[in-house]
Structure 1
Amino acid sequence: MTDYRPPADMPYVHGRSDRESMRLGDQAATLEDLLHHDTRYPPGSTVLEAGCGVGAQSVILARNSPEALITSIDISPDSVGRARDRAAREGYTNISFRTGDVYHLPFAPGAFDHVFVCFLLEHLPDPVRALEGLLRVLRPGGTITVIEGDHGSAFFYPRSDEATKAIQCLVEVQRRAGGNALIGRELWHLMNEAGARSVRVSPRMVYVDESRPALVEGFTKNTFTAMVEGVETEARALGLIDEKTWEKGISDLYRTMEPDGTFCYTFFKGTGRKTGPSRSGTPNRQLWSDAKKSACEQAGL
C-alpha cells in the first residue's frame, strides 16, 4: 500500500514554521503529565495516532507505552518528516510515521486496538466525520482517546479587554479556516454522535502563577501567548483588530506572567470505546510485526 498524498492546501491555522514546531515541542513537554499521565497501552497492542504533526505528542506516547506499536499519521509530508526525525533522534523504534488524511484513512476496518487524537479536531471542518472514520479502523472493544483545548476557557489576571480581543482573533481566524477553537466543550457530544460508547470527558486545567515558573515560561509564554501572536498577520489582514488594540492585548498577556499575574486554561480529555465483541485484548499481531519492521527501518536498525 502506498502512502496517501494529501492536498497541499489543507489549512493549519498556526502554520508549519520552525517556530511553530518549537512551540509544539514546548507545549507537549509542559503538558505531558497533565494530559498523558493516564494514557498507557499494553504490550503488543497497536495504536493509531491521527494528526501527529511534528511528533511532539508521538514521542510521549512511544515513551509511555514502550511495548505498544504506534502508527502516527499526518496530512503534511513536511510534518511527517519532522516527526520521523524527532523519533529517530530520541531513539524510539516502536513508532512509525506516514502521510494520511483522517477523512480517508488508508487502513482496513478494525486494524487497530487503540486510537489516540490530540489537538486535531479543532482544525477540522467536520470532526464527527473524522471520528467516524477513526472508529471504523478501531477494532470492536478498542478504545479511543481524544484531547482538545478550548480558548474560551482562558482566564487571567490582571483583566484586559484588549487581551480578550486578541484571543478572540485567534478563535475567529481558526473559524474562518474551517476549525473550532472552542471545541473542547463539545467533545462529549461529538464522540457520542460519531458512535463511540462509554464516553467519559475529564477537564484538565492549567493554572499558572509565580509559584510555578516552569508553567509561566512553558505554557503562558511559549504555548498560549505564542499561539495568539502567531495569527497577527491574518487578524490584521481580515480587519479583526487594529494595531493599537493588538499590541496592547499582547502586552497584557505578557503582563499576566509578572509576579502578581495569573493565567488558567482548560483542556478536555475524552475516552470511549467502539461497540461490539472484543477479542479478549488480543492485539493485531500482523500489523504489529509489519509496523515494527517499518519503524526499525526508519531508524536505520
Structure 2
Amino acid sequence: MSQEIPAPKYIHGYHEVEQERLREQAMVIENPIYDFIDFSSVTELLEIGSGVGAQTEILLKRFPHLKITGVEYESKQIEKAKENMTKLGIGQDKVEFIQQDATALQLPQKYDGAFICWVLEHISDPVRVLKSMKPFLKTGAKVSITEVFNSTFYTYPVKEAIMEYWTIYNQYQVSIGGDPQVGARLGDLLQESGYEQIDLRSEGFHLDSRMPQEKKTVFTYWKNLMSSGAPLLLEEGLVTEKQVKDMQEAMDKLRDLPQSVFYYRFIQATAFA
C-alpha cells in the first residue's frame, strides 16, 4: 500500500488567522504591486499559488474583464478562497480554483496571461514551476511575478530582538526548501525557463516621519507577518515564547516611535511566453 506524501511545510501555516492575514497583506501592499501590472489586454489569466484568493480579489477589482483560473496545492486554501469569492459575489464564470501541484501542471486550456505573487519563495525548485506553466501559455502570453528579497529588510533604530528573530525565520524557510531571497534571481529563473523580454523592477517601502500613518500600518502588518511563522518555529524549538514576545514588543515600539524607519524591497518581473 502506498503512503500518502505529506504536504511540504509552509512557514505561515494554514490556520484561520493566517488566512485572514493573507487578505490583509494583499490590501496593504496592493498599490506598490499593482502600479506595475497591466493585464488590460489579457482575457484568460492563470494564477499560480492562488491561496485564499486574496490576490484574485484584487485582480478582478482592477481588471474586471478577466476570467481567472487559480491553481493551489492546499485544499484548505481553496475552500477558503471559494468562501471568500462567494462573499464577494464573484461566481464561477469569473474564477475557478484547481487543486494541483504547480511543478507538474495538467490544465485543460491555454492562457494569455499568468500571475505569481509570493509563491516561488516557498518552492524548492522554482524553475520547475515556470517550466511546468509554460506549455499552458499562449505564444506571447504576459507573465507577471512578484517575489520577496528578505535581506533588504531594515529598521531604524535596529532592534536586536527583531533582527535575531528575522534571521531565524529566514533560515528556517531555507531549511524547509524555500528561498527568502528568490526575488533577486527572477531574471535568471525566467531566462532559464525559456521566457523572453524579461523586465525587472524593485519596489517596496521606505517609510519615515513623513508618512506616519502608512508607517504604522506597515509596521503592524510586518509584525503579523513575522508572527505567522511563530507556531512552526516554536514547534521546531528554534525560538522561545520570550523571543516571539520580544520581537512583537520591539515592532510595536518602532511603530509608535515618530523617528523610526521601515525599509523593505521586493522584486517584480514581467516576461512573455
Corresponding residue number in structure 2 for 1:152: 151
Shift of 1:170: 1.1
Is 1:82 the counterpart of 2:80? The answer is yes
**TM (normalized to structure 1)?**
0.82
Q: Is the 8 A contact 1:49 1:116 kept in 2?
A: yes
Determine the structure 1 residue equivalent to 2:204.
205
Task: Give me the whole-angstrom Cα distance separating, in 2, the residues matched to 1:44 and 1:185.
Answer: 26
Report the Cα distance in structure 2 between the residues aligned to 1:134 and 1:8, rounded to whole angstroms: 23
The Cα shift of 1:207 comes to 2.3
Q: Give the Cα–Cα distance (whole angstroms) in 1 for the partners of residues 151 and 228 of structure 2.
A: 18
Specify the alignment match of 2:232 in structure 1: 234
Cross-structure match for 1:164:
163
Match of 1:282 in 2: none
Shift of 1:218: 3.6
45 and 219 in structure 1: CA distance in 2 versus 1, 3 angstrom threshold: same
Instruction: State the distance in 2 between where 1:48 and 1:105 align.
Output: 11
Aligned AA for 1:160? K
Identity %: 23
Deviates more, 1:199-208 or 1:47-56: 199-208
C-alpha displacement of 1:211: 4.4
Q: For 1:95-114, list aligned pairs within 5 A.
A: 95-108=95-108, 111-114=110-113
CA distance in 2 between partners of 1:249 and 1:44 (Å): 43
Q: 2:44 corresponds to which letter in structure 1?
A: T
Question: 2:42 touches 2:113 (CA, 8 Å); kept in 1?
Answer: no
Work out the CA distance in 2 between the residues paired with 1:107 and 1:211.
48
Change in Cα spacing, 1:89 to 1:213, as seen in structure 2 (3 Å) is farther
- The question of whether the paired residues in 1 share the 8 Å contact of 2:220 and 2:255 is answered with yes
Q: Extract unaligned runs of 5+ from structure 1.
A: 1-5, 275-301
CA contact (8 A) 2:45 2:114 kept: yes
Q: Do residues 194 (structure 1) and 193 (structure 2) align? A: yes
Give the C-alpha shift of residue 92 in structure 1.
2.5
Gap change, CA 1:234 and 1:83, over 3 Å in 2:
closer
Q: 1:1-301 counterparts in 2 under 5 A? A: 9-42=7-40, 45-93=43-91, 94-108=94-108, 111-222=110-221, 224-241=222-239, 244-258=242-256, 259-274=258-273
Say which SS state the counterpart of residue 61 (structure 2) adopts. helix
Structure 2: 5+ residue runs without aligned partners?
none
CA RMSD of aligned residues (A): 2.1
Instruction: Provide the TM-score with structure 2 as the length reference.
Output: 0.90
TM-fit CA distance, 1:65: 1.3
Instruction: Return 12-21 or 87-96, whichever deviates more.
Output: 87-96
Matched positions, count: 267
Measured after TM superposition, the shift of residue 129 of structure 1 is 0.7
